[in-house]
Structure 1
């Protein structure tokens, strides 16, 4: 029988206090103040409309209607229908003057905003039409009715909807612009990048700031331990590597800031706490957003994301797992052989320690010198060639940092840090010196990706060093760490911080082109507006080796859902998680069950890749025991058996922007399945209910209407109901509707596995 909730809470509090006493007593506490976001969002005032304003104005495909009964409201229509409306009676633009402060520590950023003056009452005084635009303008007033900045909003038609371009001018010296978009009552809100809490983000205040997501993110006692020992590194539920100003609502309306405008990348705050509104305040005085609508959720996402020109994902990634291995040449060979003997389908290996490894307080880390560690990997070319002969692709690792190799036991032939420093290719501090960024045991330096020559140099380094000798891809890590007080060759770091991941992706894509590798596969954890145009593949980041909903296995699905509707259609995760910490009263390490359940989730995904984690020796690996090898082999066989179906799903995702891993709202709107966050559709046809709870041997599945067949057992279930389905380890609950065009092919592919 489970403990009563009140008792569990008391036990958790006792545990947290015990951990705090332990770490304080041991003298490892380095920071007493735990930093947190402290952000404000303006509240919309009233909208006041001049009597002379025409009710309807049209220009080249866009119509603006201004009604005053029962309350002032602005509505924008295109040939696709109503793409946007304001909240009746309330302003849709406002302004603030105040301060923005961002504190940084090891890639963690905390944002503080404040207002010393606000203008939230909006007057609409003029409407004009040009050949291709409807232009609205007026004044913003403060709480006393005193006039402040003037505003101008230009609306033009696009292929998908309408573009809103709003600007502030005039008095008051505003520093931020607020935009409020209407929605019906408490209509669900989805998106804002990759958010790991709930698919429906109604009722939240969300800082739009790219950063480290935190260790634990609320799971105790780990979060407190990380907070008190590493200056807030435990994180919060709103922290994410991939925040962006892009959202859709259950009303089938979508808003996405234009990535081509630098101001779109400014730090911002989103506010969904008010019924009838979605608010966004950007630390800039310009806003350009595309407004779209559609008849169904899938069509809405396609409308919002189409036309970005995503590159294709190499087909070899669908043939089997990409196995993460560290330890050197012989370790790779022996691990591959052991997995193959167990029947594992291996498409590639991921050798992140190709550049050398160092031990830090956080665990095993890499030497960021971006040259082969020949002592660790003797016979590298032969290894790559031999694996290629077995249709196994070698991938590695790189990030946008450089380190000084002076302290290495065996320094590489090139000192890339010295080359970059001498050429002026590094991000600098206010004193003009290379900006040293603490990585927890060592300093690292960012290549200045705003410097055209630096970016070209680094792309060539990656092409010739990282992609040498037959390597065909890599994890493109980090890109969330640009300090907002840095000095750059081109641009304001406040506007470049959220854009940095896109600059990193551009550099990586250029490197693949220089290496003349059309099937180069790269994957990113950070995201930015427009970044999907450079790369097809993302991963969820450094999840905890636990089942936890805050930062473990259960958080992966929610992050994938929100990323998918925000413009990242292909997302996967590290099988088994990454972050392993001994929190004294609880040691966070992988169990055999966790490893098996994570592999089951990944088998019905776009890429299946393992990670040894930050503490490889303390954590169970897929090749460690006969049981783990057998369990993992079976899941890779399922993954490979779905290759034809996956290829179709992935192609559609890259061409349309519709995510491969879909919330039920996308595939089954209006049904009970659209309300469930613990199951997903893989493409249009496969429904999966993963086991996300430790110790569970069954799972509740909410079926849409129809007749649903279990892909592994063949048992059929009536749809339109919730059913508890057996799900022992090794038999994930995956289904296809019996009349689906793929039903017989999928059943045949998985029968007997």
Structure 2
């Protein structure tokens, strides 16, 4: 029997376990998180031996001092006199060992087992090659023959220092750098935690982000009953890239799982015998965080994309309730049909139109197209046995894939069957060229006019059997393979958005599955944090499910959204690349944008979104993140220290309302004169100002001298 697991969307069918775990928690019995950071690796030492000296490599200077010399000079790389990489003690390290994975309910957690650790490095040879390359070789250990050989190559290319460390006999290698006292560290993907990651130990593995992620008692209950609590740094979309307030960036090319330890210094450990990395420097944060990406179709900026479901009649009814709204598309995730589970409403992953739910699909699409509304659908890289689906299917993709050997295999034989809470699914093997092409044809055959959500991508088990390649190498790369397949099928005017990501990603992403709550652990505020972190580490075009996704009805942890949360979430999504709603996993228990309490205000928000269409088009075409931490736009100011406000492009400063029941909030305005969009009032900058905020009007400012932003604001006030 193949191993089974479930994903976040199935993880909280907790039942009576909630009350039992609640009693444990109330009694003071803690549940240890499987994501607890391991002990720090020893710092070690750096003995330069014959490498002592100064080396000029193109635009970089490498200073390697004597062991008895000043600590700051033992290893230092500078560009134009500015330190790029330095270490007072050990610069490199290596180890032998194993990374053991536990895969519970789609939530991967790891345990590091090290048999040998080599922290003391001695250099034995040094040589400059071609004027821009320094090659160092040596051995680990303080005594001759104690540890393995290593080779470290430094190559200067303009403002980039390329680093290549190879230790053939190691399972893990690491690079280490000191950090300045006040040098904040940002990035590493869509990290929904503090923007400054110093003090954290971050494991870069694509995985379910968890439920609660520190919000209590939910996290401890989810962990105790289902192993699904997650941690502040578990994410669908990790990225092997970071930037610092010292205007330096580090990224690396290995796909295997890495650990970035920021508890005392900057230490990157990769579970590989080699790490190839790049230190980058820039004069401004804007230069440091630029990332090329694929374009977002212009039509997405002209109105909301509504997440709707329930069949043709329900779609029409809900649209009628939003008369006067600017609607660019409807996202019909249940085009394949719906099934009920303990977690809520789920989908039939058969990837064929459900004619029972949408009997007049062609007419519905024609009607919507006539109104200028695109139709988007949904897909993920799984297939299911359709045997129990009411009405059956015309084509059984699961057994077709099984018969042709197109499914990811289990080490015990057969397909790797993954339990999704009430139904099982298997993944298409994207390393099999025939399976890859076959599933591309399945995606291309989906009925839609505007694009689709390309869900999942982070679920490849570390012990999977693949047509080609090592799953330990491919686990993190799987989201990129999934993205590439969708990109090959996507038409030029279709909008395809993803949840999981890895280095090299060029697609649009959304910030994952948040709780329908306000909190910064796993609710609305966490979505903003994830988008800010993703933006500076290679994911510049992110948006959020307006209103969140995960709703819970169990005792103790009940989580439902009301109209206030829905509208507050939507109002700042107006100032983002995409305004897209989601009904949640329990639509009947949550406020919806077409409800009478919400529809007038939401319709007004969509019209504001439409007024930003031309401006938005320029923002999303830029290589800078669309949603920018204030540090990117106004470094060195008090505003740059705030994680609860952002710039949408270069012109608009947005301060979302992130607490319930309030009618205003404080905004840290950068130096200069600023105009409140909703009233035209001017405010002095370089201070913290309290601003009134009605529903639909989060504090949004532009500079007095920004004529283009002023014109947009006048149109908004005239709506």
State the TM-score, normalized to the length of structure 1.
Answer: 0.89
What is the aligned counterpart of 2:304 among 295, 318, 321?
A: 321
Cα pair distance change 1:539/1:633, threshold 3 Å: same
- Mapping of residues 257-656 of structure 1, within 5 Å: 257-258=252-253, 264-274=254-264, 277-302=265-290, 305=291, 308=292, 310-339=293-322, 341=323, 343-464=324-445, 466=446, 468=447, 470-512=448-490, 517-532=491-506, 535=507, 537-625=508-596, 627-652=597-622, 656=623
Cα pair distance change 1:384/1:41, threshold 3 Å: farther
What is the aligned counterpart of 1:256 among 210, 226, 251?
A: 251
Cα pair distance change 1:143/1:548, threshold 3 Å: farther
Q: CA deviation at 1:144?
A: 7.4
Q: CA deviation at 1:135?
A: 3.3
Q: Which runs of 4+ in 1 moved over 6 A?
A: 22-25, 143-146
The aligned counterpart of 1:4 is none
1:83–1:253 contact (8 Å) kept in structure 2: no
State the TM-score, normalized to the length of structure 2.
Answer: 0.93
The aligned counterpart of 2:154 is 155
1:391-430 Cα offsets, whole Å, 9 max, x none, are 1000010001111101111111111111111111110011
Give me the whole-angstrom Cα distance separating, in 2, the residues matched to 1:121 and 1:213.
36
1:6-49 Cα offsets, whole Å, 9 max, x none, are xxxxxxxxxxx995437789xxxxxx996445534423212111
1:155–1:164 contact (8 Å) kept in structure 2: yes
Give me the whole-angstrom Cα distance separating, in 2, the residues matched to 1:203 and 1:35.
18
Q: Secondary structure at the match of 1:597?
A: helix
1:209-251 Cα offsets, whole Å, 9 max, x none, are 1110111112123223322332x11222121111222111111
1:225–1:234 contact (8 Å) kept in structure 2: yes
Q: CA deviation at 1:122?
A: 1.6
The aligned counterpart of 2:667 is 701
Give me the whole-angstrom Cα distance separating, in 1, the residues matched to 2:223 and 2:374.
40
Q: Secondary structure at the match of 2:440?
A: helix
Q: CA deviation at 1:133?
A: 4.7
The aligned counterpart of 2:695 is 729
Gaps of at least 5 residues in structure 1 are: 1-16, 26-31, 259-263
The aligned counterpart of 2:8 is none
Q: Secondary structure at the match of 2:536?
A: helix
Q: Secondary structure at the match of 1:531?
A: coil
Q: Secondary structure at the match of 1:662?
A: strand
- Mapping of residues 205-244 of structure 1, within 5 Å: 205-230=201-226, 232-244=227-239
Give me the whole-angstrom Cα distance separating, in 2, the residues matched to 1:624 and 1:451.
47
Q: Secondary structure at the match of 2:321?
A: helix
Give me the whole-angstrom Cα distance separating, in 1, the residues matched to 2:556 and 2:180.
47
Q: CA deviation at 1:540?
A: 0.6
Give me the whole-angstrom Cα distance separating, in 2, the residues matched to 1:159 and 1:46.
30
Q: Secondary structure at the match of 1:640?
A: helix
What is the aligned counterpart of 1:688 among 654, 657, 660?
A: 654
Give me the whole-angstrom Cα distance separating, in 2, the residues matched to 1:391 and 1:401.
32
Give me the whole-angstrom Cα distance separating, in 2, the residues matched to 1:337 and 1:143.
76
Q: CA deviation at 1:143?
A: 7.3
2:702–2:710 contact (8 Å) kept in structure 1: no
Give me the whole-angstrom Cα distance separating, in 2, the residues matched to 1:213 and 1:451.
28
2:129–2:135 contact (8 Å) kept in structure 1: no
Q: Secondary structure at the match of 1:192?
A: strand
1:271-328 Cα offsets, whole Å, 9 max, x none, are 1111xx31011110110112210011111112xx3xx4x2211000000000000000
Q: Does 1:106 align with 2:76?
A: no
Give me the whole-angstrom Cα distance separating, in 2, the residues matched to 1:149 and 1:186.
36
Give me the whole-angstrom Cα distance separating, in 2, the residues matched to 1:491 and 1:498.
13
Gaps of at least 5 residues in structure 2 are: 1-15, 25-30
